[in-house]
A and B are shown apart, each in its own frame.
Chain A
Amino acid sequence: MEPILAPESIDLIALAPVIVLSVFAMMVLIVDLFGGRNKTLLVFISLVGLLMTAISAFAKNPIPAYSFNDSYIVDHLSLFFICIFTISSALAILLSVEYNEREGIRAGEYYALILFCTVGMILLASSTDMIMIFLGIEIVSICLYVLAGIRRGNLASNEAALKYFLLGAFATGFLLYGMTLVYGSTGSTNLFEIADFVKNPEAQSNPLLLMGLVLLIIGFGFKVASVPFHMWAPDVYQGAPTPVTAFMAVGPKAAAFAAFFRVFAEAFPEMAPSWEVLLSSIAVLSMFFGNLGAIMQTNIKRMLAFSSISHAGYILMAVIAKNSLGASSLLFYMLAYAFTTFGIFGIVILLGRKGEENLEIENYSGLAYKHPIIALSMTVFLLSLAGLPPFAGFIAKFYIFSAAVQEGLITLVIIAVLNSAISFYYYLKVVVFMYMKEPEAEFRISLTPLTLFVVFVGVIATVSLGIFPGSIIALASH
C-alpha cells in the first residue's frame, strides 16, 4: 500500500503556528473536562501553547514561502503579526486570571476561545486568498461573540454580545458580498491573481468590481470599528468583561488591519485612485468623531472605545499609504498600541472590586495621592496614546505620518496631527482627575500580582519602545 502523501502545494510546515495553536486550544478544552474548578493548569497550558506558536512560526525558512496553492503565505508581515498576536493573547490571559476569579467567571473554555481566536487572527494575517480571509475573520468574530457574553448572568455582558453578534454578522454579509462581486468580476479569489487581473485598465472600470470594493470597505470598516461603522464598539467595549475588551481592542483589530492591508495594498494597488478617496474620508471621519465622542464620555471603557476608533483612523493612513513604509509603520503602531492598551486596561481592572467595577472617570480622582506609582503608569499610557514623546505612541504616530507624507498625503497628515491635538484633551482629563482632585472615596485597590505584572510589562515596553525604537523598526521594515 502506498503511503498517502500531501500534494506539493500543501506545505504543512508553513502552517505550523496554526496547527500548534489549534492542538493546544483543544488540549485546553480536554484538560478542562478533568481539571475540576482550578483553572491554573489551563492558564499554564495556554501560555505554553502561545510560546510554542511564536517559536513554530519561524520554522519555515526561507521566507516568503507559499502554501495551499498560494492561499497562505509566510512573510515578514505575517511573522511580525504572529508575534504581536501571541504577545497580546498572552497578556490578555494574564489579565483574565485574577479578573475571572474575582468576577466568578469559571468557564475553562474562556482560555480555549482566546486561543482559537488567535488561530483565526494568524490565518487572517497570513491569507492571500479571499476564502481564507473570510474564514479567518469568522473564526475571530465567532470566538469574540462568545467571549463578550461570557458572563452569562450579567445583562450588560449579554447585551454587548447580542449587539456585537448582530452587527458583526451584518457586516459579514457586506464583506462577503463584496468578495463575491470582486470574484465575479476578476474570476479569482486569490489576491495575486486579482492583482494581475486589475493591471488591465479596462478591467478597472468594471462597475461590478467597483461595487465590490465599496462593499469590502464597508465590511472591513465594521471589523476595525471605523466611522461610520463604529456604533457597536462603545457598547461592546463597555459591556464585555474588561480583559476581553483589552483583547478585542488589540489582537482582532490588528488582524483585521493586516487583512485590510493585504487586500487593498497587495491586490488593488493599481486601483488606488478609486478607493483612496473613500478610505481617506473614512480615516478622517474616524479620527474626528472618535475624538469628539471620547471627549463626551464619563465611563473610562467607553472613552477608550472612542479613542480606539480614532486610532483606527490613524492606522488606516498606513493602509492608504500602501508602501513598504506603510506596512512597517502598521506593524510598529500595532505593537506599541498593544502594550499601551493592555497596560491601561490592567489599571482599569486593578481599580475595580467584585460587583463594583469603578469605571467612571470620577473614580480616578486623587489616585495619585494614594497610589502614586499606579497613577504614574496610567499617565505614561495615556500620554503614549496621545502621542507625546518619549513614549511608544509618539514614534508610532510619527512613523505612520511619515509613510503618508512619502505618498504625498499631506492634507491627511495635517488633519491627523490636528486630531492628535484634540485627543490630548480627554487623555489629560484623566490625568487631571488623578493628580489635581481630592479623592472621593476610599480606594480599595486589589493589587493582584499577575495584573500588576501586565501593567509593569506595559510600562517597560511603552517607555523602551519610545526611547529605543531602532531595533524593532529594523525588524518591522524588512
Chain B
Amino acid sequence: MLEETVPLSHYLMLSATLFVIGVAGVLIRRNVIVVFMSIEIMLNAVNISLISFDHYMNLSNGQIFSFMVMCVAAAEVSVGLAIIIAMHRNKPTVNLDDFNLLKW
C-alpha cells in the first residue's frame, strides 16, 4: 500500500520544495513567460499538498479545492497570456526589466 511505503511528510516536503522553486523562479527570473510558469508551479505544489492531506486523513474537501485551484489557474492563464500579448503588441519584449514606464 501507498501509506506503508511513503509517509505524508514526504509529500509535504515535495510540495514545499516545489513551492520554493516556484517562488525563487518568480523572484529571480526576468522573462515574463518563465515567471508565469513559476507561478503555475506554485499553484500545483499546493495541489499536491491538498491531495495528500486528503488521502492520508480520509477527507474530501481538499479534492474539491484542488479542482477549484485548477479551474482558477486555467482562467488566470488565459487572462495572463492575453495581457502579455496585448503588451507585446505595444512593446515587443518579454523581459520584465524593460517595463519601467511606471516606477517599479
Interface residues of A (CB under 8 A from B): 130-131, 134-135, 138, 142, 145-146, 149, 152-156, 158-163, 165-166, 169-170, 172-173, 176-177, 179-181, 183-184, 187-189, 231, 234-235, 238-239
* Least distance between A211 CB and chain B CB atoms (Å): 10
Contact residue among A131, A146, A149 (Cβ-Cβ distance under 8 Å from B65): A131
Tell yes or no: B13 within 8 A of A by CB.
no
Return 12 A-B CB contacts under 8 Å, by A number.
A130-B65, A142-B76, A145-B79, A155-B87, A165-B83, A173-B46, A177-B42, A180-B46, A180-B53, A184-B57, A189-B65, A235-B102
Q: Which residues of B contact A156 (CB under 8 A)?
A: 101-102
Is A239 in contact with B102, judged by CB distance below 8 angstroms? yes
B86 touches A152 (CB 8 A): yes
A179 contact set on B, CB distance < 8 A: 65
B14 contacts A by Cβ under 8 Å:
no
A154 to B57, CA, bound (A): 51
Q: What residues on A are CB-neighbors of B43 within 8 Å? A: 172-173, 176
Q: Which residue of chain A lies nearest to B59 when distances are taken between CB atoms in the complex?
A: A187
With a cutoff of 8 Å between Cβ atoms, the chain A residues found around residue B84 in the complex are 162
Least CB distance from A259 to B in Å reads 16
Indicate with 1 or 0, residue by residue over B85-104, a CB within 8 angstroms of chain A CB atoms: 01101110000100101111
Instruction: Give every chain B residue within 8 A of A172 (Cβ-Cβ).
Output: 43, 72, 76
Q: Is the CB of A134 within 8 A of B50?
A: no
A-B contact count (CB 8 A): 127
Give CA–CA (A188, B102) in the complex, Å: 42
Please give me the 7 A-B residue pairs with the lowest Cβ-Cβ distance, nearest first.
Answer: A173-B42, A184-B53, A235-B102, A158-B87, A138-B72, A180-B49, A169-B39
Q: Give the interface SS of chain B, mostly helix, strand, loop or mixed.
A: helix
| Closest chain B CB from A178 CB (angstroms) | 9
Q: Is A183 within 8 A of B87, CB to CB?
A: no
Sample of 20 further A-B pairs with CB below 8 A, known A188-B61, A235-B104: A134-B72, A138-B72, A138-B75, A138-B76, A142-B76, A149-B86, A156-B101, A162-B84, A162-B87, A163-B99, A166-B32, A166-B35, A166-B36, A166-B39, A166-B80, A177-B49, A181-B49, A187-B57, A189-B61, A189-B62
Using known A-B contacts A145-B79, A173-B43, A177-B42, determine if residue A159 contacts B87 with beta carbons closer than 8 Å: yes
Are the C-beta atoms of A169 and B80 separated by less than 8 Å? yes
Interface residues of B (CB under 8 A from A): 12, 19, 22-23, 26, 32, 35-36, 39, 42-43, 45-46, 49-50, 53, 57, 59, 61-62, 64-65, 68-69, 72, 75-76, 79-80, 82-84, 86-87, 89-91, 96, 99, 101-104
Q: Nearest residue in B to A175 (C-beta to C-beta)?
A: B46
Q: What A residues does B104 contact at CB under 8 A?
A: 163, 231, 235
B76 and A162 contact, CB distance less than 8 A: no
CB-defined contacts of A158 to chain B, threshold 8 Å: 83, 86-87, 90-91
A-side contacts of B102, CB under 8 Å: 156, 159-160, 163, 234-235, 238-239
User: Which residues from chain B contact A134 at a C-beta distance below 8 Å?
Assistant: 65, 68-69, 72
Q: Which of B53, B61, B79 contacts A142 (CB 8 A)?
A: B79
Quote the shortest CB–CB distance from A357 to chain B (angstroms): 14
Residues of A within 8 A of B36 (CB): 166, 169
Tell me whether B83 and A235 are in contact (CB under 8 A). Answer: no
Is there contact, CB below 8 Å, between A131 and B86?
no
CB-based contact A176/B39 at 8 Å = no
CA distance A387 to B103 in the complex (A): 29
Closest to B62 in A: A183
Q: How far is the CA of A158 from the CA of B84 in the complex (A)?
A: 8
B83 x A170 contact (CB < 8 A):
no
Give the docked Cα–Cα distance between A307 and B43 (Å).
32
- Is B50's CB under 8 angstroms from A180's CB? yes
| Distance (whole angstroms) from the CB of B8 to the closest CB of chain A | 9
A188 to B39 Cα, complex, angstroms? 26
Are B90's CB and A170's CB within 8 A?
A: no
CB-CB under 8 A from A188, the residues of chain B are 61
- B27: nearest chain-A partner, CB-CB: A170
Q: For the complex, give the distance between the alpha carbons of A158 and B83 in Å.
A: 7
Chain A CB within 10 A, most for which of B36, B50, B72:
B72
The reply to whether B65 and A183 contact each other, CB–CB distance below 8 Å, is yes
